[in-house]
Structures are given as C-alpha cells and as structure tokens.
Structure 1
Amino acid sequence: MTFALVTLGTFILMEGITWCTHKYVMHGFGWYLHEDHHQPGYPHVFEKNDAFFVVFAIPSMMLFFFGIRPELNFLFFIGLGILFYGLAYFLIHDVLIHRRFKWFDKTDNWYFRGLRKAHKIHHKKLGKHEGECFGMLFVPFKYFKEYLK
C-alpha cells in the first residue's frame, strides 16, 4: 500500500515538475530544444523537443537501478511514478493532442477536449516568452466549461 502511494504521489508531483520545467526550462534556457515544437507544421517525425523525454527518462532509470539494490525499496516506486507519468504524457500530448500517431482519432471526451483546447492556447503564442497554460494533465477549469454543458 505504501509503495502504491509513493508511485501515485510521484505521478501527481510530476505534473508540477513538468509545469515548472515547461515554463522555466523549455521556455527559458532550453528554448533551443523546444522551439521547433512551437512551429506550425513541423515536417519531421522527431523534434529536438523530444530530447526532453530522455531528460526525464534518465532519473527514472537511475531510480529503478538504485531501487532494487540491495533490495527492492521506495526509489523503485518513485521511478515507476515518473515512468507512468511519462507514458501518460506521451499518450496525452503526442498521441491525443498533437496526433503524431493516429491512434485515438475518434475520442470525444470532455476532459481530453479541454486538454486539447488548453494546449492549443499555449501554442497560439510562437515566441519564447509569451505563453500560458504550461500544464499537461491539470489545466485551468475554464478550458473545460464549454464541454461540460
């Protein structure tokens, strides 16, 4: 039970970490890697922005490694929470929102529509410093209002 709470807590905490990373790193000194993601119709399968997946994967892998040595411990479950968030991020951001893969084209859920709208608002601004709505799973309620009628 405790390990499940550590995994869930890490997953939830990752939204805050992702928000801060998106606002202050990706739209800050990491703009070089993130900028192509804000260009409409970017023609390549991969973006420089995809490097951030590696940035988040490394701590997760290290936590898995140290979380089984000398025996299974809480570090493993922190790594698991990061991994689960990364999977959710991929499915929501790359598959559902940006449709880089055509897996869920017919999805018409109010929550997913609100996330898509919030992300579109974020991408309306093409510059480094103009931006709003840096979250991925938890966005302001105003983006869901029209879909909850």
Structure 2
Amino acid sequence: MQIVFWILIFLGVFSAMEFMAWFTHKYIMHGFLWKLHKDHHHKDHDSWFERNDAFFIFYAVVSMSCFYLWSYEGIWYCLPIGLGIMAYGAAYFVVHDIFIHQRFKMFRKANNWYAKGVRRAHKIHHKSLGKGDSENFGMLVVPFKYFKK
C-alpha cells in the first residue's frame, strides 16, 4: 500500500511543480530576482552558463534535501517528494533548455502540433526583453491558443 502513496505523492509533486514554475517565473524571476533572470531574455555575456541557471540549483538543493531527510532521518514521504521535484526539473530542462533554447543540439526536427505550440508560446514570452509585460505560463502546460494547425 505504501507504494501507492509514493506514486500518488510523486505525481502530485510533479504536477504541483508546474504551478511552482509558473509562480516562480512570474513573481520571482520577473520580480525581485529579475537581475538573475534578465540574461535569459537578453544575453549579455559569452558564457554558456547563465545567471538564470541559479534557479535550477535552488530546486536541486530542495530535492537533495528531501533525499537526505528520507535517507538519514527516515521520513518516508520525502523520497517521492524529492523524486517528483527532480523529475519535473529533468522534464523542464529537456523541454526548455534542450528543445526550445537548443543549449544542446537535439530535438531540432520535432515538428508536431505540441512542439510547435510550445515553441510559439515561448517565443511570444521572449518577445519582451524587459521585466514586465511578458506573458507567463508553465512549461509543460501551455495555453491552448498556441496550438494552431
């Protein structure tokens, strides 16, 4: 029975991370930590790394803390929480950094309706180079209006 709870917690956390990505992006990245996120919209350096990558580090630390609490403190539900955060981070990295921004040259030929919709939505978000006035949405759940035939 515990495995069912693990799966439900994992799926719940993975789903909740889509909200967290939207919330963090809208109110933190385009809010008081714009200084870290700005180079993602307008690259002002020659490095492959961006200051924006600090947000990945934050969620990785949260996930690793959950693994620690599960492993050393015996808090059983911290394992599916940590795995849910980690799995969402991996999905976000693949969709956002690899597929959309092509930080690694992969998935270039993906041209189905979902791929086109995600690219279109992200391009509209990046139209704005400033802190405000850009549309915000999750990364895996994109508004339906961007999925045109």
TM interval, short-chain normalised? over 0.9
Match of 2:55? 52
Match of 2:89? 86
CA distance in 2, matches of 1:72, 1:108: 43
Equivalent residues, number? 146
Output aligned runs, 1:1-149, within 5 Å.
1-39=4-42, 43-71=46-74, 73-144=76-147, 146-147=148-149
Percent identity reads: 53
Deviations 1:68-122 (A, max 9, x none): 2343611111010000000001000000001111011111121122111111100
Most deviating of 103-112 and 10-19: 103-112
Tell me how far 1:40 sits from its aligned partner.
5.7
Tell me how far 1:66 sits from its aligned partner.
0.3
CA distance in 2, matches of 1:98, 1:42: 16
Gaps of 5+ in 2: none
Most deviating of 66-75 and 19-28: 66-75
TM-score, structure 2 length as denominator?
Answer: 0.92
Q: Secondary structure at the match of 2:111?
A: coil
Tell me how far 1:135 sits from its aligned partner.
1.4
Gaps of 5+ in 1: none
Q: Is the 8 A contact 2:25 2:136 kept in 1?
A: no
